[in-house]
Each structure stands twice: as structure tokens, then as C-alpha cells.
A and B are shown apart, each in its own frame.
Chain A
Amino acid sequence: MVQELRERVVAEVGKVVVSREKETELLLVALLARGHALLEGVPGVSKTLLARAFSRCMGLDFRRVQFTPDMLPLDIVGGFVFDMKERELEFRQGPIFTNILLADEINRAPPKVQSALLEAMQERQVTVEGHTEILPSPHMVIATQNPIEFQGVYPLPEGQLDRFILKIVLGYPSLLTESAIIRRNMSEPDVESVKPVVSREDLSKSLERVRAVTVSGEMTDYIARLAVSTRADSRISLGASPRAMVHLTHCAQARAYLSDRDYITPDDVKELSIHVLSHRIKLDQALALSGETADVTAILKDTLDRVIPPR
């Protein structure tokens, strides 16, 4: 039944987004783990389309904000405006007050806007001048960003990247997929054709069940050993944080739930580690100068190959 949920979501998103099954599943994992997702890729690899289609098929309230360099924090969280009729200040909610917020090109906004958004993501509430408002539940931010070497972008600081439960990198499609994309886009892709396939009731039940998935003591030890291993690696200057490992555990629970299991296995952890850790780890700058491989994914894979899981 649970596997059916995953299949329904993947099939519905697949109506408009070609060959992004794995990425759709990762978005579902992030939502069920009560986290936020960061989609990274060059322009034109269907980041926005994927996020929009996913939001629609989950049947949740959705808003999209295009981030620009001239934005202010109140454009996201909202602020006080003067009500002429009542002659008093009233709080007007910003677009963050929704279930799924698509923060398009987040790294085009200046740091103070990014930090206002990311603070709300962490606290699940917004405080403006002493006035606090709770965000709707579930609440998920799907942010898209271009790789940092692109012009006019403000890279997200490490502390802010750490708030995203996982990063999904969208690469260029294969030759066959590209051909299918061109065929499908002969006419405008209609996101409106994506129908909600999950009810709010089913989703809230799923969110509860995910947290009840068993994580054995040996599995928490394994996850902790992975964290220590990233911190001890001389090629890494900033290893995985405790928050990262908590996020990894929650994602593993979500993956186990989607596979119709009530316990996590080392495969859940290994499968998700790269997505959960790659954006939080900082490589030693000297590594690039010495000519060694400076690829986070390869180094993380190396760590996963070294640390022995409970067998």
C-alpha cells in the first residue's frame, strides 16, 4: 500500500517531467522526513517544473517566489502594514505561509533575505517585531539554485545549507531522455494536468508512521561512525554535523517507510548519504591545489566504502 503511494506520486509527476523518477522519490523522502530540499542544476534541466509538479500531486497549498537581488525579507515572511480603516498596524503574511514554497533561484537573493527564509525553515515560525506566527503544517521549502560558478549568485553559507535535509543535483539528461523531452515539449507542458494523488489525511498518517520506523542501536552507532569518519578525513575541512546525521536518520526512516518496512537498514543510509551530506561538507582547499580529486561525492563514497555497517 505504501509502495503504491510512491508509485502514484512518481507516475503523476512523470506525466510532465521526463525521467526524473529518482529525484521525485527524493522529494517525497524529504517531505516525509519533515525537511526541506535543495534542487541544484544548470538552467533548463526542469528544476522548477519538477518542484511544481510534485507540489500539485501532493495536494498541498503551494506558492512560488522568484528570488531576485533587490528582494527584502518582508517579501518572504511578511510584515506589518497600516490598516487605514481600523487605524492600526496589522501583520500581513508573506508567501512563506503555505505548505510548499518553491524558492526559485534562492542564491540570487541577498544574504539577509536568505537568512530570513532559512530561519523560518528552522523554527517553523516567523517572528516580526515581537509578533510570532506559526507556519502551516506540513511545511516544506523546495529551493532551486544554479551552481555557484554562475553569474549574479550569492552562495549560501554552510550554516544555512545545513538546514536543507537533502540536496538533489539535476544533471543533463541522457540522449534518449533528451529526445523524449523534445517530443513532449512540442506543445507547452501542462502542469495543470497533474492531479493530487495523496489526501491530506493519508499524508499526515504517513508523517506519523515515518517517525515510528525503528532505528536500532547498531544503526545509530553506524550513522555516528560515518559522521566521525567524515570529520577525521584529512581531505575534508568541515565534516558532517550532528544535525546532518539526525537528518540522515530521518531520511532513512522515510525511505524505509516507502519500501514498506518498519526498520531502517544500512542500504537506506548508504543510498541517501550522498544527498544528505554532500552540500554540508567542505573540502580542504589545499586539496584542489595539490591536484588530488576534489570531488565531494567521490570522497563520501570512499567513506561509505570504509565504514563497516552492522551485518
Chain B
Amino acid sequence: MAIDLLLALNAAVYLSLVAGLIARRRPPTPASEDIRSAFVLLDGALRKAFPDLPEGFTWREGMTKAKKKGLQLDWKELDKTLQSYEAYRYGGADEPKSSQSELLRLVRALRSSW
């Protein structure tokens, strides 16, 4: 009886340890206030995930590299986000109000590949 209790306790301790390790390996989805800060997060994630990316890389070059990694993301949505960000950043359009969730998922996916 006492041995059974000890075994169950042991199993519970090990399971919580494994769960803790898994949780540590999966980085939390980053948060950002606006699209510009979301792209700042992406900049850092791309540089860390691809050390061979040159200093003078563009968003499209970075995104193409990430796409080639075969990450399971909505690339159409990401392309739309990038287009609207470029229109805002280089074309003087209004700041896009659309959701950045897919972009942040990309940042998280890149971070877990470090």
C-alpha cells in the first residue's frame, strides 16, 4: 500500500517535470502593440534564426528564407500583412489595423527553431 502511494507520487513528480520542460521549450506567443513593433520582433527573430542573413536583408528576403523552412503558417495572410506594412512604411499609407496574429505566429515559430 505504502509502495503504491510512493510510486504514484513518483510518477506525479516526473510528469510535472516533463510538462515543465515542454512548456519551457515552447516559447509563448509574443505580444506587440502595433504593426511596427511586430516587425521589430520579426527582425530579431529572423536574424537569430538565420545567422547567414546579410545585414542588408529586406523583409521579402527574410520572409522567403523563412518560407523555405517549411513552417506551417498561412503564407497568403503573411504576404498580405507585409504588403500593407510596406504601403504604410514606404508609401505613406495609413497604419494597417489588421490583425498581426499570423506575423506573431511566425516570430514564435522562428524562435522555437533557435
Contacts and interface: CB of A to CB of B under 8 A. Distances in A.
Contacts of B60: 265, 267
Interface residues of B, number: 16
Interface stretch (A135-143, A144-152, A202-210, A302-310): A302-310
Contact of B43 (A262, A265, A270, A311): A311
Interface in B2-58: 39, 43, 54-58
Contacts of A177: none
B51 to A, nearest CB: 14
A7 interface: no
Contact of B56 (A218, A219, A304): A304
Interface residues of A, number: 20
Among B55, B58, B89, chain A packs the most CB atoms within 10 A around the CB of: B58
Contact of B59 (A216, A261, A306, A311): A311
Interface in A265-288: 265-267, 270
CB-CB nearest 5 A-B residue pairs: A263-B91, A305-B54, A266-B58, A263-B90, A305-B56
Contacts, number: 49
Contact of B91 (A214, A266, A308, A310): A214
B90 to A, nearest CB: 5
A306 B59 CA distance: 15
24 contacts: A214-B90, A216-B90, A219-B90, A261-B86, A261-B87, A261-B91, A262-B91, A263-B86, A263-B91, A265-B86, A266-B58, A267-B60, A267-B61, A270-B56, A270-B58, A305-B54, A306-B55, A307-B55, A308-B55, A308-B56, A309-B58, A310-B89, A310-B90, A311-B59
A29 interface: no
A245 to B, nearest CB: 16
B70 interface: no
A218 B54 contact: no
B90 A264 contact: yes
